[in-house]
Structure 1
């Protein structure tokens, strides 16, 4: 059975990895992806509402088709997309909004990879900070006589192994994203 301190560290590390995964998903790849719209909120009767709660979003080749269930919200969706920083121009034909994803230049791809790398590095820093905090807790438990020196050493090794495993997970997430960005 795992020691509670190791379990707690693992839970915190998993939350960090989920956040990194989410951040990486939002980075453009040149492919049409509904994930790019997740952060955009539309003013719908005074309430900021995500686009996916107001419309059907379909992927067609290199574009997204946004078809609102209520046509009166079409211009609000268009305004919200214009106001966002996704770098795409919505085309409103009165029924649907079309977002066309142009083929990215090599320079744009490199910029996206660089951003993905920065996000991955932030994730690794977060994991290492969790390790540092947990090792400090362990040292305190040992100093207070609540765990033996042998147990402290064993738990330190478990924490280090866990840290290595989580950093490897982040590396894999980054490699996957880099491949996605570069292969369009």
Structure 2
């Protein structure tokens, strides 16, 4: 969709950022299979500074339900293990002296349903964010019309464009939600 108006273009960019944030949030939800993004939020105490785990170690997925964390600096192994234990992952790390192995347990049906609800909640937050961006955009358009920058017809056309952009963003959020729910509920 070709958009010429700067107000709508900026709002569309903000909506895309809301979608990206939603994807990032969903990356932290465990779906019963290994995903390196599960470790994105873990920070490790490394020489007195909190450092993201993915900057201290190589994270690989050798099997469908196994994450392998191989630190670049072997002296950081104990601190990485401590950070994983302290996190809200709920997975016990297995340290073999050079790498840490994380085995993601199979999810129970009850837990799958809880995670699906969590995904639905995150999706609702993303939709609210998109609607708030739409509201801001509409206010800006009405203000521009009031100031004489837009005619009534131009305002009407831009409001239609704004609604199309919003509908597209909501549809994308729903697609992301459906994909994640399918991933969680598939056994």
TM-score with structure 2 setting the length = 0.95
Q: What's the secondary structure of 2:84's corresponding residue?
A: helix
Answering whether residue 150 of structure 2 is matched by residue 181 of structure 1, we say no
d(CA) in 1 for partners of 2:38, 2:131:
29
Instruction: Summarize deviations over 1:51-92 as a string: whole Å, max 9, x none.
Output: 222222121322111111221111100000011101111111
* Unmatched 5+ stretches in structure 1: none
Number of the residue aligned with 2:112: 109
What are the residue-to-residue correspondences of 1:58-69 with 2, within 5 Å? Answer: 58-61=60-63, 62-69=65-72
How far off its partner does 1:144 sit? 1.9
Instruction: Summarize deviations over 1:7-48 as a string: whole Å, max 9, x none.
Output: 111111111111111111111100011110011011111121
d(CA) in 2 for partners of 1:137, 1:52:
41
Number of the residue aligned with 1:75: 78
Considering only aligned residues, what root-mean-square deviation do their CA atoms show, in Å? 1.1
TM-score with structure 1 setting the length = 0.96
Equivalent position to 1:168, from 161, 167, 171:
171
Equivalent position to 1:90, from 85, 89, 93:
93
d(CA) in 1 for partners of 2:136, 2:178:
28
Number of the residue aligned with 1:118: 121
Q: What's the secondary structure of 1:42's corresponding residue?
A: strand
Q: What's the secondary structure of 2:98's corresponding residue?
A: coil
d(CA) in 2 for partners of 1:175, 1:87:
25
Q: What's the secondary structure of 1:2's corresponding residue?
A: coil
d(CA) in 1 for partners of 2:143, 2:57:
53
Alignment size in residue pairs: 184
